[in-house]
Amino acid sequence: MEHKSTPMNTLLRVKVSAKTWLADDIAGYDLSPLADSALPAFEAGAHIDLHVPGGPVRQYSLYELPGEYPRYRIGVLRDPQSRGGSVQLLDNVHAGDTLTISAPRNHFSLHNGQNNRSILFAGGIGITPILCMAQQLAREHRPFAMHYCGRTLSRMAFVDRLQQAQFGDDSQMRVHVDDDAPDQQLDARSAIGSPSSDKHLYVCGPNGFMDHILQTARELGWDEGHLHREYFAATPIDSSEDGRFEIEIGSSGQVIEVHADQSAAHALLDAGFNLPLSCEQGVCGTCMTKVLAGAPDHRDLYLTDEERARNDSFMPCCSRAKTSRLVLDL
């Protein structure tokens, strides 16, 4: 899949119209527009940036398509390894509060094609964008199969809703729990199956789960262009041996030094460039910048292997340089 980055910097004020516990340590937030305002439309796979009051900016997928009521719905998992966003949100934000969010962005959209067959895999809280995809596919009468995996039912949101949903005759929906009988657990090879030109795979969840699904698909002969993923967080990278490098601005020739303990994004911001940032982990693709010369040291989770090999795109929030200088299209 070719990625396209279309940053939307519009900020919106919304009201928390409902807060509901969906499972152990998972709460759902309904975000409604304030009076005399509207919420931008979106398609399945979209996420918003949420400005946690007094804390960081975090990304949350929208789990329900627009319907009768104008609202965005997100699911938030209390992550014990969190950098603070989810804990602050769950403990301090309740129905009636107001929040600042971005307009929806979508780097995980469904592939077009009425006859395409989609295979959806969700692990844990990764159900949020996958549920929205299932809704859109069902609404458009497009065939799909869905596999939802978790460690225990008590920590899996939307299970009752999914088991009662009428997704249509062309769909298959399976829930797989680690403590189920072995024959009920996910057989990735069987679920993925052989590749074909009309099949696309979508996966979201913990990094280990996603790596397992994607690697299995590759072993079965799937083409990278038919594998679509969305990571929630990057795996920490050892930066102890990072060195300095330079960024040259293609339009002006200005040279900016990036120190060993500094990201390229922050070096650009310090130099006065208005660079759009969101996740700052190389997950969302918001800051993607075209490379005119030099070789990036890719550390993101957004670009495919083919896109990385071309060395013409760069995520300044996390990636660095293999060469002493990168020339960027800025």
- Give yes or no for residue 171 having a pLDDT over 60: yes
- Mean pLDDT calculated for residue range 157-179: 80
Q: Which helix or strand (DSSP H or E) is residue 139 part of?
A: helix 127-139
Spatial contact of 318 and 288, defined as CB atoms under 8 Å apart: no
Please name each of the domains of the chain with its CATH number: 11-102 (2.40.30.10), 117-230 (3.40.50.80), 245-328 (3.10.20.30)
3 state DSSP class of 171 = strand
pTM of the predicted structure, to 2 decimals = 0.81
- Mean pLDDT calculated for residue range 69-97: 88
- Give yes or no for residue 126 having a pLDDT over 90: yes
The beta strands (E) that lie in the chain are given as 11-23, 26-33, 47-51, 57-61, 72-77, 98-102, 117-123, 144-150, 171-177, 199-204, 227-230, 245-249, 255-258, 289-293, 296-297, 313-314, 320-321, 325-328
pLDDT digits (tens, 9 = 90+) for 207-237: 899 999 999 999 999 999 999 999 877 666 7
First to last CA, the chain: 24
What are the b/e assignments for 246-268, b being 16+ CB within 10 Å? bbbbbeeeeebebeeeebbbbbb
pLDDT digits (tens, 9 = 90+) for 257-300: 999 999 999 999 999 998 888 778 888 788 999 999 999 999 98
pLDDT of residue 7: 42
